[in-house]
């Protein structure tokens, strides 16, 4: 099991506050990377990075990335490794999203995940700022590239996996596919290293299906930044699922095959729905035929927050949404949109607690999610950056693909929007 490296006294972790205002766009991410480079150079003030001359310099770098073709979409060979891995009936899996910042908080989240002693770990994607080779090396592989103390993505007892995020695609996905993936998978066998940005873990009752929504999450350079224009198909990001991935899902995983029916946990980087932000509906439309007759437990990141929803049914799929994009980025503290709640968005829990470790006071707490599978049940233990339990819930798989959900324990400090009659035991 890979262990995070101990901090070196000569090195420092990336500061979480430095990432506070990073927006989820290619333009802004490249800019912030240049800002950080300047911040390490005491001969120049941080603000200088925003002067027009530096902006043009940075823009050239951005266009250099943007004008390259993105990395080919990797898939599995016709024979041999197919990306479906065995999960024991009793098994532990630890998840984090938007974790790749290299901050001390990211290191704390990694340590918390390892303390769970998981069989597998899964990153839901996003390595900052642009997920290129040096950032993957420093923020995921524990190497020192920019003078910061590197942080290692924690590996489970049997293996580790990672989805692709939009930030990795800002550098065309090359480092994700060529540097990060070869370090993932099941290391006991070279044939079982992670070869693609989608995969499946399954036992007789449960199936974790991880799908890549990030490969098509970056639109046409510059135009994708323009409101209105970026809503034109194929100009802005739509997160559509690649045809080869859908073919793998239909022919290898075969969720519609009566002999292969399982309760399904779907993992994606992008949100299916949200009470806080815009969402991406196209993947659900593409998956409608495969999962229309069952409930999904759908876990995503991308939004830098933690949120728990009841069953959402207005869309193409019936899903219990869980947003865990609080793994490493500064966590957003924002109220849900009243119009979304008024229209029936089933937000149940979110976290408005303020993280006071740094001088930047209006940040929330980072965290991660532990899954404990035991036969037909899976227990979800939502943890914060200090490894404290926030919420414990349990899902039970029905024989026909349905899910029964119950809350077991909740920290009373969480914001609870459920009807009072629901009554959840409190105290973590």
Closest approach, Cβ 278 to Fe ion, in A, equals 13
Least distance (Å) from Fe ion to the CB of residue 303? 8
What does the binding site for Fe ion look like in residue numbers (CB under 5 A)? 126, 165-166, 302
CB of 272 to Fe ion, least distance (A): 14
Q: Could you give the 3-state DSSP secondary structure of residue 185? A: strand
Minimum CB–partner distance for residue 97 and Fe ion (Å):
8
Query: What tokens does 278 get?
Result: 């815009």
Q: Among all chains, which residue has been given the structure tokens 């420092």?
A: 12
| Inter-CA distances, 140 with 62, 134, 164, 176, 336, Å | 23, 10, 13, 10, 32
Beta partners for residue 267, in sequence order = 210, 299
Q: Which residue's C-beta sits nearest to Fe ion?
A: 302
Of the two residues 130 and 378, which places its CB atom closer to Fe ion in the complex? 130
Q: Give the nearer residue to Fe ion in terms of CB position, either 297 or 323.
A: 323
CB of 24 to Fe ion, least distance (A): 5
Contact between 389 and 428 (Cβ < 8 Å)? yes
Smaller CB separation from Fe ion, 55 or 334: 334
Choose between 100 and 165: whose C-beta lies nearer to Fe ion: 165
Task: In angstroms, give the least distance from the CB of 41 to Fe ion.
Answer: 28
Instruction: Compare residues 159 and 237 and give the one whose CB is closer to Fe ion.
Output: 237
How is residue 54 written in tokens?
């530096």
Q: In the complex, what is the shortest distance from the CB of residue 167 to Fe ion, in angstroms, rounded to a whole number?
A: 6
By beta-carbon proximity to Fe ion, the closer residue of 93 and 218 is 218
Nearer to Fe ion, 195 or 304 (CB): 304
Tokens of 318: 């019936």
The contacts found for 411-414 with CB under 8 angstroms, 24 or more apart, are 413/353, 414/349, 414/350, 414/351, 414/353, 414/390
CA dihedral sign of residues 1, 111, 406, 283: negative
- Farthest CA pair distance, the chain: 66
Tokens of 176: 């994700």
Write the CB contacts of 152 (distance below 8 Å, at least 6 apart in sequence).
Answer: 2, 3, 4, 5, 110, 140, 141, 142
Burial of 135 (0-12, 13-18, 19+ CB in 10 A): buried
Closest separation in Å from C-beta 377 to Fe ion? 30
Closer to Fe ion by CB, 98 or 138: give it. 98
Strands (E) located in 97-231: 120-123, 159-162, 199-202, 206-210
């Amino acid at each position: 099991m890979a262990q995070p490296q101990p901090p070196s006294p000569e090195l420092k972790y990336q500061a979480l506050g430095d990432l506070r205002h990073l927006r989820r766009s290619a333009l802004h991410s490249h800019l912030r990377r240049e800002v950080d480079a300047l911040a390490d150079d005491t001969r120049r003030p941080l603000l200088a990075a925003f002067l027009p001359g530096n902006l043009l310099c940075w823009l050239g770098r951005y266009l250099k990335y943007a004008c390259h073709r993105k990395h080919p979409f990797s898939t599995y060979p016709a024979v041999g490794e197919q990306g479906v891995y065995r999960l024991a009936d009793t098994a532990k899996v630890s998840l984090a999203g938007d974790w790749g910042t290299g901050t001390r908080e990211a290191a704390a989240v990694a340590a918390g995940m390892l303390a769970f002693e998981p069989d597998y770990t899964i990153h839901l994607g996003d390595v900052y700022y642009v997920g290129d080779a040096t950032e993957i090396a420093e923020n995921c592989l524990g190497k020192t590239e920019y003078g910061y103390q590197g942080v290692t993505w924690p590996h489970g007892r049997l293996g580790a996996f990672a989805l692709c995020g939009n930030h990795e695609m800002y550098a065309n996905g090359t480092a994700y596919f060529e540097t990060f993936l070869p370090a993932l998978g099941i290391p006991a066998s070279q044939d079982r290293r992670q070869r693609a940005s989608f995969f499946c873990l399954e036992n007789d009752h449960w199936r974790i299906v991880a799908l890549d929504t990030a490969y098509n999450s970056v639109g046409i350079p510059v135009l994708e930044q323009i409101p209105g224009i970026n809503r034109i198909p194929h100009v802005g990001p739509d997160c559509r699922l690649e045809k080869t991935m859908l073919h793998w899902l239909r022919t290898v995983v075969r969720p519609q095959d009566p002999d292969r029916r399982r309760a399904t946990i779907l993992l994606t980087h992008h949100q299916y729905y949200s009470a806080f932000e815009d969402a991406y509906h196209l993947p659900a439309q593409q998956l409608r035929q495969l999962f229309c007759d069952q409930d999904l437990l759908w876990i995503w990141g991308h939004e830098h927050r933690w949120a728990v929803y009841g069953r959402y049914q207005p869309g193409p799929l019936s899903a219990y949404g869980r947003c865990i994009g609080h793994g490493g980025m500064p966590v957003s503290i924002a109220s849900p949109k009243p119009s979304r709640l008024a229209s029936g968005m089933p937000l149940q829990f979110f976290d408005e607690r303020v993280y006071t470790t740094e001088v930047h006071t209006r940040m929330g707490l980072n965290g991660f999610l532990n899954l404990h599978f035991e036969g037909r049940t899976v227990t979800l233990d939502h943890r914060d950056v200090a490894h404290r339990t926030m919420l414990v819930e349990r899902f039970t798989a029905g024989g026909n693909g349905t899910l029964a959900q119950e809350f077991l324990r909740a920290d009373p400090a969480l914001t609870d929007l459920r009807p009072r009659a629901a009554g959840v035991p409190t105290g973590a």
